[in-house]
Structure formats: structure tokens, C-alpha cells
Amino acid sequence: MYNNRGDFVFFSQFKSLTLPIKILLVTVLLAHLSYYLVLPIFPILLKVVKGLTILQIGTVLAVSSFSYQGGSILGGYLADQFGRRTVITVGAFIKGLALIGFGLATSYPMLIVVALFNGIGGGLNAPSTKAAIAEITSKQGDQTTVFSLRGIAANMGIGVAGLLVYTVFGNQSSSVFYVAAVIFFLVGTLSWFFVPSECDTQPCDKVPIRSYLQVFRNKAYIAFSAMSILIWGLYVQFALALPLTGERILDNPAAVSLIWTINSLLVVVFQTFITNKIIKRISSMTAFAIGALFIGIGISSLYYATNFYFLIFSGLIFIIGEMIIMPTVDIVITRISAGQLMSTYFGIANFVAGLGEGLGNFSGSRLLSIGLGSYLPWLTYLSVAILIAILIYSVRLFPPIQKAFSKPPEGSHV
């Protein structure tokens, strides 16, 4: 957490990075700041301001998640063909316009259309950003360090967003959409001017369509993707269930945003410890199984929440699982991907994440519509988490999985 001179590790390591990596990490911070200005109160805004039912809220979230898949696949392909900088920039501007659309939309059908473009913009931007980080750091040999720093930068943005939502915007202000949009426009501008393009001096090498079949012949990657669908489907339940639980038990539902701030501070302080003491010492599949258990326990514990402090406790359990899973996912994709198709691998990984999140939002909203006070949804979450953990831990013995994931990610310690 601190180096020998007493400096916070993040800042001391950030100083040693090249300018493109610094800019990419800044855009990661800003993108998460924008995203989490909206996320903590999005279900509340859709319910209270836009007048949607829980089922309609789940559908809007699902459409955004599913369209994120299409954007991810398209973005990965376009980035490999035309350069990552262009795709990152275009995605950021589409995302910004969609956020404005959320603020202006006055009907359920309009919100569905806006959610479609919101997902596409995010799908274009996110995987190309990760692929750019992976490509640049592959020449420097410090991918584990940088991906952990990426997680810390993201959570700095999340932490600031939570404080802004609670102290400035409240839980019924659509102005948050416009502020979030401006931030994404800034992300696009910074990316265009400071992220290097592979195609500045000469046209990008066109990757033959048949080369993309390599991805689907990669058995380890296919198995990893199948496990990821389950993990992301479970992971997304917290963002759906926490605001609705807060709206039910708290006098000021906007206080829910502080849970993300607290969780972000925990990541900033403890991600280094988790990376060094857990992620680098166990196999990747074991890390996924342990992370899934923590996430499931954190979500299901919301059943017992009667006050803000118990929400903090549930968030603490959840964030431990997140800190185990998140850096592992990115570094594993980097290790098993082919260099020329790296953006495509990250794009498909984001497609898988969107698929899992979409299915999770769709099924989770229906599960919670049974009633937040019923034990059934929360027992289901816990049971599913246990089954996912057992499944992931069991398939680690599948030969392609064993070969690709038996060793923890290598790289510099953070």
C-alpha cells in the first residue's frame, strides 16, 4: 500500500509509466467516474423519475447489457482492422450521447432505444481500452502491475462518483446523466489526442476473416468464456439488488451511492495486498471460484439488511470477491490471446460479460419481483453462487484449462 518512502504505491508506480499508459489509466478513472455517477441510482431514477416497474427496469438494463455484446464484438474487430484509438474515441462519444438520451427520454420505448446505444458505446470503448493497455505493457513486462493499477484507478473514479451522488445529485436528479455525458466526451477527446494509433504512419494490417477462427479453436478461451458468463450473471445482481434494497429500507436511498465509495476505497487500499497474497499464489480458476463465493454471499446477505451499516457489511463481502476476480480476468485474457487479435479477444470477453450481465439482469429482475422481503430470491443467489464455485473449481482439471490456468499470472508485484 505504501513504499519505503511512505508514498502511496499507486502514485509512485504511476509516475514510472509511459505517457500513453498514464492517459489510458486516466480515461479508465474518468469512465468509471461517469458510469458510477449513474449506476448507484439508475434503478431508482428509472422507477421514481421515469415511472418504470421493476420488470421494465430489468429489461432496460438487459437491453444495455445485450447491446454491449454487439458493440464489443464490433469494436474488437474494428480495432484490429483500423486501430484502437479511433474505436475508443467513437465509443466514448456514442456513450456520452446515450447518457444525454437517458436524461431526455420520457417513455419506456425511448429508454429501450437509448439503452441500445448506451451498450454499443460502452462495448466499443471498453475492450479496445483494455487491449491498448495490454499491447503497450506487453513490451514492458509489467502487465500484472498495470492491470492492478487499472483496477485502482477505476475505483478512484467510483469512489468520487459515490460521494458526488450523495452530496450533490441526490436520488431523483436527471442532471446526473448530463454530467456523466460530459465526462465521456472528455474521455473521447483525451483518447484521440494522446493514445497512440497503430495506423498513424501506415495503414493497419488487415486481419483476414479466417484468422478469427483461431479464437474459436482456443479451447481454454472457450472454457474460460463459459465460466465468465456464469460469473458475470451473478456479479451484476449486486448493482440491481443493492439500490432496490436501499430504496426499501433507507429514508434517503441516495445514501446507497456511499456503498460504492466505501467499496472503492477498500479496493484502492487493499487491491495490492489481494494481488500479492492471493491472486499470484493460487491458480486462476481457483481464484474465480473463491471470488464467486464471496460475491454470492455478499449479495444474498442483503436479505438481512435493515440499516445502512448492514449494507456496508454486504458490500464488504462482495468487494472481496471483486478484488479477486477483476485483475485475474484481464491478465488471463492477455496470456491466452494471440497478439494480432488481442482486441478481438478482449471484445469477445466483453461480449461474454455483456451476455452474462444481460441474462443476470433479466433473470434477477424477475427473481426480485417475487418480493424483496421474501427469502427465495436471496437463497437462490447463494445457491447459484455455490454451484458456480463448485463447477469452476471442478473444470480446472479439464486439460486445456489445466494447461492455461494452472499457474497464477506472472508479472511484477504491486
Arithmetic mean of pLDDT, 51-67: 85
The Cα–Cα gap between 44 and 149 comes to 31
Dihedral angle computed from the Cα positions of residues 54, 56, 60 and 61, in that order, rounded to the nearest 10 degrees:
20
Q: What is the pLDDT of residue 141?
A: 57
Mean pLDDT in residue range 260-272: 85
Give tens-digit pLDDT for 107-143. 999 999 999 999 999 988 887 888 788 777 766 656 6
Sign, CA dihedral 42-45-46-50, equals: negative
**Can you tell me the distance from the alpha carbon of 361 to that of 374, in angstroms, rounded to the nearest whole number?**
18
pLDDT of residue 212: 62
Residue 2's φ and ψ, nearest 5 degrees, are -130, 150
Domains of the chain and any CATH numbers: 17-197+214-405 (1.20.1250.20)
- How far apart CA 290 and CA 284 sit, in angstroms, is 10
Which one, of 103, 128, 133, lies nearest residue 118 by Cα? 103
**Cell 430504496 -> residue:** 247
257 Cβ contact list (under 8 Å, min separation 6): 36, 40, 41, 161, 162, 163, 165, 166
* Other C-beta atoms lying within 10 Å of the C-beta of residue 287: 26
Phi, then psi, of 307 in degrees rounded to 5:
-155, 175
pLDDT tens per residue across span 296-308: 999 999 999 889 9
Q: Where are the alpha helices (DSSP H) in 172-307?
A: 175-194, 213-217, 219-235, 237-249, 257-274, 284-300
Residue 151's pLDDT is what?
81
pLDDT at 206 over 80: no
Mean pLDDT confidence for 205-224: 72
What amino acid is encoded at 202 in this protein?
Answer: Q
CA–CA distance, 233 with 101 (Å, rounded to integer): 26
Measured between alpha carbons, how far is 137 from 147 in angstroms, rounded to an integer? 9
What is the DSSP code (8-state) at residue 18?
A: -
In this prediction, residue 4 carries a pLDDT of 47
Give the pLDDT score at 244: 85
Q: How far apart are CA 41 and CA 25, in angstroms?
A: 25
Average pLDDT, the chain: 82
